[in-house]
Amino acid sequence: MIKLKQYSFILLLSVFFVQLTQAQNLSKYHALYIANFVKYIEWDDGSKDPKIGIVANAETFNKMKPYFANLNTDFLRRIEDPKDYTKCQIIFVPSSQKKLFKDINEATKGKNILVVTEDEQFAKQGASISFYLSEGRLRFILNKAVTDSQRLKVNGKLLSMAKII
């Protein structure tokens, strides 16, 4: 069963590595990736259904929400208040909210929280994972030093697909 899940994840990511254009709406792909990251990252508390927070306007949140339906979680929320940054195990920061990254990074530094961004520059500035486009393909950078400091156990399958810094 575990191998089937691993192969399913690899197949799913392979499908999304097909050519993408800049004009496409990437929100759904970000959501699908994040939903699969859940399967390959372990949190200190052993949580299998982490709380996922999206720092976004209502339109972006509503575009992403349906793609989290396959998770066994009722913990998807739109984050509007800075005090909610530490109430989730995963926080997604779209590029439209990049002005908030510094505050989010400070609030979550060293905590058992995966911070995922849509802007690759933030991987070098403390995000756990950042998405980027390379030759029209959606990819992700994983900052290993950050995930280690956050006490996140990242599965080797996920590491093998990431650009590690």
- Domains, the chain, ordered by start: 2-164 (3.40.50.2300)
pLDDT for the residue numbered 48:
77
Amino acid occupying residue 45 = D
User: Residue 22: which pLDDT band, with cuts at 50, 70 and 90?
Assistant: very low
pLDDT for the residue numbered 9:
62
pLDDT for the residue numbered 124:
94
Q: Is 116 left (phi over 0), alpha (psi -120 to 50) or beta?
A: beta
User: Residue 10: which pLDDT band, with cuts at 50, 70 and 90?
Assistant: low
pLDDT for the residue numbered 21:
40
Tokens, residue 138: 């959606």
Pick the closest to residue 71 from 34, 117, 45 (CA basis). Answer: 34
> What pTM does this model have?
0.82
Bridge partners of residue 128, in order along the sequence: none
| Block residue for tokens 């799913």 | 12
71-103 in b/e form (b: 16+ CB < 10 A) is bebebbebbeeeebbeebbbbbbbeebbeebee
pLDDT at 87 over 70: yes
Share the mean pLDDT of the chain.
Answer: 85
User: Residue 15: which pLDDT band, with cuts at 50, 70 and 90?
Assistant: low
Tokens, residue 52: 């996922």
pLDDT for the residue numbered 122:
94
Q: What is the pLDDT of residues 44-72, one digit of tens each?
A: 888 778 899 999 888 888 888 888 877 66
